[in-house]
Amino acid sequence: MADQQEASPAGGRVAVVTGGSGGIGQAICRRLAADGHAVVINYAGRPAEADRLATAINEGGGRAVAVRADVGDENDVAALFEAATSAFGGVDVVVNTAGIMLLAPVAELDLAVLDRMHRINIRGTFVVAREAARRVRAGGAIINFSSSMVKIALPTYAAYAASKGAVDALTLILARELRGRDITVNAVAPGPTATPLFLDGKDQAAVDRLAAMAPLERLGVPGDIAEVVAFLAGPARWVNGQVLYANGGVI
């Protein structure tokens, strides 16, 4: 591919994290920065949170910049990768965290809600993955975000789970399309995780029921998911074309 870049220099790897101002996204940015990655924190609607996170990472001895981009807009995404290259010299790791979850039974779902989730969860993941496939350097990693809800299959999650099932298909095929490039492509599929996105609209009884599903008898926390991403972004060079379920044993 014409846009393919050379392997990363010895000075360290560079990670682009979409949705980096969110709960799981922030934990991933902090973890990758702690592991020595320069981090490009992508955000769409929370500039203050993204800026605070970048400041905290830089003050802690890491390297980070915050960059606004709509993941569903190909021009924004191209500019995001250009910003990463301008700031740090290239891109080695892309973590496709950006996503939304809107719940309703199939019979009651407003199609505008379906279209909104499609634009961010499916189109957004595809646009970012396409740019990553063109730009990530040899030895790099592309990490998409699926969901354990694809298999748990709880009522009201159909539209959301369907959008994440599309991410699974994209991940497995892209891994094969990048044959010979020394780039891994995987997806992380979190289970119930205590983030504002997941907890919004749920009463305590519902939260307790979801927490009890796992044999570990708790919800996940963002740091649990960041651990899996750090594994895929660094040492996991023989894990490729997989969906990793990080859910405490729910499935």
Q: pLDDT tens across 187-206, in order?
A: 999 998 988 777 777 889 98
Predicted confidence band of residue 1 (pLDDT cuts 50, 70, 90):
very low
The pLDDT of residue 104 is 96
93 sits in which H/E element:
strand 93-96
pLDDT at position 202: 81
Strand partners, 17: 41, 95
Residue matched to tokens 């991403």: 229
Q: Give residue 249's pLDDT.
A: 95
* CA–CA dist 28, 17 (Å, integer): 8
| Per-residue pLDDT tens digits for 6-57 | 655 545 899 999 999 999 999 999 999 999 999 999 999 889 999 999 999 9
DSSP 8-state code for residue 7:
P
What count of Cα atoms within 13 Å lies in the side-chain half-sphere of residue 143? 34
Nearest to 198 by CA among 217, 238, 170, 225: 225
Strand ranges of the sheet holding 93-96, from the earlier edge strand across to the other edge: 63-68, 38-43, 14-18, 93-96, 141-145, 184-190, 243-246
Domain boundaries along the sequence of the chain: 14-246
Provide the residue count of the chain. 251
The percentage of residues in the chain with a pLDDT greater than 90, rounded to a whole number, is 86
- Percent helix / strand / coil, the chain, rounded to 5: 45, 15, 40
Report, as an integer, the average pLDDT of 228-235. Answer: 97
Give the closest residue to 199 by CA, choosing from 187, 214, 211, 217.
211
Mean pLDDT score of the chain: 94
- φ, ψ of residue 250 to 5 degrees: the values are -60, -40
User: How far apart are the C-alpha atoms of 165 and 159, rounded to whole Å?
Assistant: 10
CA distances for 104 relative to 69, 70, 156, 160, 161, angstroms:
28, 25, 4, 9, 12
Q: Is 0.95 topped by the overall pTM? A: no
Measured CA to CA, the distance from residue 229 to residue 62 in angstroms comes to 18
Considering the domain 14-246 in this protein, what is its CATH number? 3.40.50.720
Tell me the per-residue pLDDT of 240-251, one tens digit each, with 9 for 90 and over: 999 999 999 998
DSSP H or E run through 30: helix 23-34
Q: What is the pLDDT of residues 83-133, one digit of tens each?
A: 999 999 999 999 999 999 999 999 999 999 999 999 999 999 999 999 999
pLDDT of residue 201: 75
**According to the model, what pLDDT value does residue 110 have?**
97
pLDDT per position as a tens digit, 130-157: 999 999 999 999 999 999 999 999 999 9
**Which string of DSSP letters, residue by residue, matches 187-225?**
EEEE-SB-SHHHHTT--HHHHHHHHHTSTT-S-B-HHHH
- Grade residue 4 by pLDDT with cuts at 50, 70 and 90: low
Report d(CA 102, CA 153) in Å as an integer: 15
Q: Which residues are catalytic?
A: 160
| pLDDT the model gives residue 165 | 98
Show Cβ contacts of residue 218 under 8 Å, excluding neighbours closer than 6 positions.
211, 248
